[in-house]
Structure 1
Amino acid sequence: MQNSVSLVPAALRRGDTIAFIAPSARINHIFPLRIARARAFLEAQGFRIREIYTPELPTTSFRAALKTRVDEIHESFRDDEVRAIICCIGGLTANEILAHLDYELIREHPKIFIGSSDITLFHHALLAGSGLRTFYGPSAITQLGEYPAPLDFTWEHFLRVLVAEREESNAPSEEVGPMPRATHYTDEFLDWSGEPGNLRARETKPSPGWKWLRPGLAHGRIFGGCLPSTLQLFGTPWEVSYKDRILLLELPEGMTLDSPWPLELARWNLADLGMRGVWDDITGLILGRPYRHTEGQVAEWENMVLELTEGYDFPILAGVDVGHTDPMLTVPLDALCRLDSERDEWVVLESGVENK
């Protein structure tokens, strides 16, 4: 298990190359308009894009297809022109890859790696196996492929955390600082298969804002991700210790893309975290805004968290812009944070990247 200060990647600059990879779900060729929008937006922002993706995987065997997927990841790290890697989307197959990665190669070529949902497994594995700090944040097909462009809040925080705008500066970049909160959000479901016929901006609505389920003050290095995915790596070589950490949790979509994660499964997942001793280890808990839950379901979810952490005194902050929600923060995992209910703050106390 790894719980020391992580290997911090270099900042991204205008003109740098960003790689798109699809380590889990393989749908780039199914939704080319979303990939094209993400590419066009980032190129307009001054970045170069390299899509490392094989539309037709080998059909001779599972191992042959797996090797192609692994080779794509290795290529994205090996290419020194690539300064950042953005996952195209999550999926259900990230766990097929972990045992086949060259963690020494990744350690020798550290760079920004960003994604969410079941990419949670890669965040754990890259920290445990290579010591690399990664970032829980937007994906190419989802947030960066939004029509007509990524939401301003999502993009502005991506820039804040990852991009060095002043080329002449050789000093370490300043701390990320207080995490912002969006005034509006959207969880409207628009079927991507309907594009281009249904192209329009999704409707937003006022955000209910943060909610302190339990007050308090906490310091710790933040880690976590999608709730069910955090449970998959206990007892494996890619388990990350949560000792003295602030835990970040968010809920995925449900059995269909337009449905919420069932609360009975969420309770099951939370109880499993408790059995693994996570509540004994952590100093604080941050919950992302649930996806497509009604107001009553959100209240039930929050009450459930309080029930299953009863007897503990760590602070709990809910309703943040993390995970299966838009807009989305970019969270530097393994960065030192402070939670302070009295000041109503979640603060990242160090830089997400090195300005070099």
Structure 2
Amino acid sequence: MDVILPKPLKAGDTIGFFSPSSPATAFAPTRFMRAKAYLEQQGFVLKAGQLTGCSDHYRSGTIAERVSELNTLIRDPSIRCIMSTIGGSNSNALLPYIDYEALKRDPKIIIGYSDVTALLLGIYAKTGLITFYGPALVASMGELPPLVDETFASFRDLLCAERQQSFTYSVPAQWSEEMIDWEKQTAPKSTHDNRWEFLGTGTVSGRIIGGNLNTMTGIWGSEFMPEVREGDILLLEDSLKGIETVERSFCHLKLCGVFDRVSAIILGKHELFNHRGTGRTPLAVLQEVLNDQEMPILNGFDSCHTHPMLVTPLGVKADIDFDAETVSLRGPWLEQ
């Protein structure tokens, strides 16, 4: 399948937003309005999906209503970027009903994270369109400065620049996983000094594929899960999980032979990981599951549930230089 590239964003373009699972615009209206105003201040036009403000308890609407919302945005020629409002648990329900042919005719930037992994990977698998693991409207763009400004800087640098053939990520100086009631937050979150661990030597090159570890189990073995190829770089991240769940998920990949095919793993920060009293980290769990199998690992990458969030194109080749401790994209990921 040929790779399809969306066009870069520019000032004045329209970003459509949708709620494929959790009803964040309903349960966090203050944060939603702050996020919408923030992107409008950056020069974009925001167009609401039809389920904005709606709630069906754990989700924004029925499967039919949610896919109708997404397809309406896909078919709208004025919209150049489609951004999720948040994740949830049930985005995979939409996959059989998406208008993939419309996306092929009019490619758009599709961006989100967490449960939206199912849609990003499914769209890439069915169309070849490069999709973007990156900020969601309410969850990411509703954060307060300075963290939201760093998230937006990554969004701008990756998605608003023309003729990009390469890009090297910078390590954010600070990061946060502090949990604050979204409707009561009035001050910036507390932060930690940041660092990435480069566990390997030399340079590894490969196609980036992956996303939220827990979500991928909901599409594994289906036509909507791209094949993990020999030499791929596997992006993995998760949030609010216990160590027992993370071990099971890593073992699932081991049993499926995924670790025998990939050339390296990018492990994102795990938001509020519950080590169940063990004191162990997701990295330690992964290394135990690998059982001394040689595997270069970049640990602590900031394309995850923590703030700030870096945009990561899925389906694009990258270089990880473990000696120089750099991560670079080798494009293009946008139409030139």
Which of 150, 153, 156 is the matching residue for 1:156? Answer: 153
Cα contact 1:57–1:65 (8 A) shared by 2: no
Distance in 2 (alpha carbons) for counterparts of 1:222 and 1:148:
29
Q: Give the match for residue 40 of structure 2.
A: 43
- Answering whether residue 196 of structure 2 is matched by residue 210 of structure 1, we say yes
Which of 157, 169, 172 is the matching residue for 1:182? Answer: 172
Which of 301, 311, 317 is the matching residue for 1:330? Answer: 311
Q: Please show how residues 200-239 of structure 1 align to structure 2 within 5 Å.
A: 200-207=187-194, 209-239=195-225
Distance in 1 (alpha carbons) for counterparts of 2:14 and 2:205:
35
For residues 282-317 of structure 1, what are the alpha-carbon distances to aligned partners after superposition, in whole Å with 9 as ceiling and x for unaligned?
111100012124899785321221122235333111
For residues 144-189 of structure 1, what are the alpha-carbon distances to aligned partners after superposition, in whole Å with 9 as ceiling and x for unaligned?
011357522211111110013xxxxxxx612342111111011111
For residues 327-355 of structure 1, what are the alpha-carbon distances to aligned partners after superposition, in whole Å with 9 as ceiling and x for unaligned?
11000111110111111111101133124
Which of 165, 169, 173 is the matching residue for 2:163? Answer: 173
SS of aligned partner of 1:29: helix
- Answering whether residue 186 of structure 2 is matched by residue 199 of structure 1, we say yes
Which runs of 5 or more structure 2 residues have no equivalent in the other structure? none
Distance 1:70 1:326, change over 3 A: same
Q: Give the match for residue 139 of structure 1.
A: 136
Distance in 2 (alpha carbons) for counterparts of 1:119 and 1:26:
13
Moved more, 150-159 or 261-270: 150-159
**What is the deviation of 1:214?**
3.5
Which of 44, 67, 70 is the matching residue for 2:67? Answer: 70
**What is the deviation of 1:205?**
2.1
Distance 1:294 1:95, change over 3 A: closer
**What is the deviation of 1:5?**
5.3
Instruction: State the percentage of identical aligned residues.
Output: 31
Distance 1:328 1:6, change over 3 A: same
For residues 31-87 of structure 1, what are the alpha-carbon distances to aligned partners after superposition, in whole Å with 9 as ceiling and x for unaligned?
12112111111111111000113244799xx9x932221111011111111000110
Q: Give the match for residue 283 of structure 1.
A: 263
Distance 1:298 1:47, change over 3 A: farther
SS of aligned partner of 2:24: coil
Distance 1:126 1:92, change over 3 A: same
SS of aligned partner of 2:20: coil
Distance in 1 (alpha carbons) for counterparts of 2:149 and 2:55:
35
Which runs of 5 or more structure 1 residues have no equivalent in the other structure? 165-171, 254-260
Distance 1:263 1:294, change over 3 A: closer
Question: Which residue type is aligned with residue 305 of structure 1?
Answer: L
TM-score by length of 2: 0.92
Paired positions, count: 331
Q: Give the match for residue 326 of structure 2.
A: 345
Structure 1 runs of 4+ off > 4 angstroms?
Answer: 56-59, 294-299
Which of 6, 9, 22 is the matching residue for 1:12? Answer: 9
Distance in 2 (alpha carbons) for counterparts of 1:272 and 1:31:
34
Question: Which residue type is aligned with residue 221 of structure 1?
Answer: R
Distance 1:33 1:272, change over 3 A: same
Q: Give the match for residue 258 of structure 1.
A: none
Moved more, 232-241 or 308-317: 308-317
Cα contact 2:18–2:84 (8 A) shared by 1: yes
Question: Which residue type is aligned with residue 300 of structure 1?
Answer: T
Distance 1:148 1:345, change over 3 A: closer
SS of aligned partner of 2:309: coil
TM-score by length of 1: 0.87
Distance in 1 (alpha carbons) for counterparts of 2:259 and 2:35:
38
Cα contact 2:242–2:273 (8 A) shared by 1: no
**What is the deviation of 1:212?**
2.1
Distance in 2 (alpha carbons) for counterparts of 1:278 and 1:202:
37
Distance in 2 (alpha carbons) for counterparts of 1:317 and 1:279:
15
Distance in 2 (alpha carbons) for counterparts of 1:155 and 1:267:
33
Cα contact 1:218–1:314 (8 A) shared by 2: no
Distance 1:124 1:81, change over 3 A: same
Q: Give the match for residue 250 of structure 2.
A: 270
Cα contact 1:10–1:112 (8 A) shared by 2: yes
What value does the CA root-mean-square deviation take over the aligned residues? 2.2
Question: Which residue type is aligned with residue 183 of structure 1?
Answer: A
Distance in 1 (alpha carbons) for counterparts of 2:258 and 2:234:
9
Distance in 1 (alpha carbons) for counterparts of 2:164 and 2:54:
43
Question: Which residue type is aligned with residue 174 of structure 1?
Answer: Q
